[in-house]
Amino acid sequence: MNIIDLNRTKFIPLHLSLWVGVWFFFVYFFSYNTSDTTFVIWFSSFLLPVTMATTYFTVYYLIPKYLLVKHYVRFVLYSFYTLVFSTYFIMLTIFGSFIFLSELKIANVPPMSRNFVFVLILVYLVVGLVSFISILNRNFATLSKNKELENKILEGQLQLKGQELNYLKKQIHPHFLFNTLNTIYGFALRQSNQTPDIILKLSNLLDYILYQVQKPKVLLTEELSHIEEYLDLERIRFQDTLEVNFNKEGIRDAVAIPPMLLIPFVENAFKHGSIISGKLRIDIKANFEEHNFLFSVSNTFRDTHELTANKGIGLENIRKRLNLLYNDAYDLQISKEEDQFKVQLRITNLKL
């Protein structure tokens, strides 16, 4: 909002109030050391149009056309021209008042009204003050628009981020479910007595995948609990050929993470792990200390498998999710050493 925005009808009363106030301002100062109220009132009335014209020309032409676009030399030059013209009209006002209001008698002119320098300073005090307020209002309006634009851009980015996260989760969940259903299918073909137990455990995972995962965050303990259930399913499938160690240290109940963030790492270890010397060995570690969470999964692995550090839809999508969720507050290391494939995730500054 500009204090002197005449382009909007609703601000006309504000402008009228402004100039009425300026008129009283002139009357007050020019009344100093004189009792000739009639002269002061007419002189202030003659001076007001000159002040208004100078002010509006400065605010609506000089400032937006030159000052705000950083054409400083032209602004100074045209401001000087404006000063010359306004000085001329101020002198006409003083001279006209001397002729018509004082009967050509200098003694009848109030002392403050015949002081040209004082009159000029008073006029440009008004011009400068209104111009300063106008510039402030323009700056505030620009800042407000920029802030509004930034909020719209941020809102759009958040919407895109949310859409991408939902897309990634929808990719991860069917992939995880497909591998688990393959396990049940294998036991069903063998008509195993353990099939009902597997289905029961899977039902808990399905609830987590299909319903709980819609939440933006879940407790870390809940995510780790479902990893345990997944490990139970795989123990049934692998029987004696599986050796799993799952160590948890310092896990706090209040720590929360996005759902299905850790399970794909474990699922990837089973999918691409290799049985070496009769065993598929998987080591899982989860540690929380001083707001930092460390999660690592390592598994036996043969180089004959076509697996690279970034292959597999689970790891690839988890990396994308981590970028969206934690930006620079995480570190994901994926490495191969001899017969070991290892994934290590570190998330820093997790809030309780």
* Final residue of a structural domain among 95, 130, 151: 151
Q: In this model, does residue 339 exceed pLDDT 60?
A: yes
In a domain, 326, yes or no: yes
Spatial CA neighbour of 220 closest among 253, 178, 245, 182: 253
**What's the pLDDT at 247?**
95
In a domain, 88, yes or no: yes
Q: Residue 201 is part of which domain span?
A: 192-347
75-100 burial: b if 16+ Cβ within 10 Å, else e: beebbeebeeebbebbeebbeebbee
Number of domains comprising the chain? 2
CATH number of the domain to which 296 belongs: 3.30.565.10
**What's the pLDDT at 80?**
93
Tens of pLDDT, residues 276-318: 888 899 999 999 998 899 999 999 988 755 555 445 556 777 7
Statement: the pTM of the whole predicted model exceeds 0.75: no
Same structural domain, 123 and 224? no
In a domain, 170, yes or no: no
Rounded distance between C-alpha atoms, residue 299 and residue 246, angstroms? 12
In a domain, 31, yes or no: yes
Rounded distance between C-alpha atoms, residue 36 and residue 321, angstroms? 82
**What's the pLDDT at 297?**
96
In a domain, 179, yes or no: no
Q: With cut-offs at 50, 70 and 90, classify the pLDDT of residue 4.
A: very low
Same structural domain, 225 and 326? yes
Tens of pLDDT, residues 149-197: 777 767 766 665 665 556 555 554 565 567 667 777 777 777 777 777 7
Pairing outcome for strands 340-347 and 292-300: antiparallel
Tens of pLDDT, residues 70-108: 899 999 999 999 999 999 998 888 887 777 776 666 666
Same structural domain, 240 and 128? no
**What's the pLDDT at 108?**
63
Same structural domain, 147 and 34? yes
Q: In this model, does residue 69 exceed pLDDT 50?
A: yes
Q: With cut-offs at 50, 70 and 90, classify the pLDDT of residue 6.
A: very low
In a domain, 162, yes or no: no
**What's the pLDDT at 1?**
44
In a domain, 198, yes or no: yes
Spatial CA neighbour of 262 closest among 228, 290, 235, 302: 228
Encode 230-249 in three state secondary structure.
HHHHHHHHHHHHEEEEEEEE
